[in-house]
A = this chain, B = another copy of it.
């Protein structure tokens, strides 16, 4: 999904500045499956403005750079709906963690243990924040559905790490012994 459509999606939920849009990809409910950087957001907002899909009103701020609040227009909502009707591309997952574990037999047990401990802690942390800040009752069905799917998948991954780590550690130790022979 190109950055312009992502911005339209965020703005469809409410007016925001470029900075706030960035934050919504770091902390908001979209954070777990979409990302965009300043280097793509600011040019995207400029182009959306030029095309009339958003409007921008500058909010003068006391001794700070003007905050540029963007709002989606009717044309913007139409463009968003249009983009939503296109068949989505395949999901992309990028996990350096799994790449490292893939070569577990090249790593010492201590490193593997720390790696898995850290990752389980990360999952616990995310799950806690997702269940705390839920506030789901007032959100549309799509958001609730996506939130629930995220919870289910994260729990599943955490459980797998917890339940199979010993098998991995034993197998990796075996491989190291055989390699040393």
Contacts and interface: CB of A to CB of B under 8 A. Distances in A.
Interface of A: 1, 6, 9, 12, 29-30, 32-35, 80-81, 84-85, 87-107, 111, 115, 118, 122, 140-146, 148-149, 152-153, 156-157, 159-161, 164, 167-168, 170-172, 174-175
A101 B152 contact: no
Contacts of A111: 85
Contacts of A97: 88, 91
Of the candidates A80, A103, A168, the one having the most CB atoms from chain B within 10 angstroms of its own CB is A103
A99 B30 contact: yes
Given A88-B96, A153-B153, A104 B34 contact: no
Contacts of A142: 101-105, 168, 171-172
Of the candidates A87, A140, A159, the one having the most CB atoms from chain B within 10 angstroms of its own CB is A140
Nearest to A77: B106
Nearest to A171: B141
Contacts of A156: 152-153, 156
A140 B167 CA distance: 12
Given A106-B84, A149-B160, A152-B160, A99 B140 contact: no
A140 B178 CA distance: 11
19 contacts: A1-B94, A1-B96, A6-B99, A33-B94, A33-B99, A91-B93, A91-B94, A93-B93, A101-B142, A102-B143, A103-B140, A140-B171, A140-B175, A141-B167, A141-B170, A141-B171, A141-B175, A152-B159, A153-B157
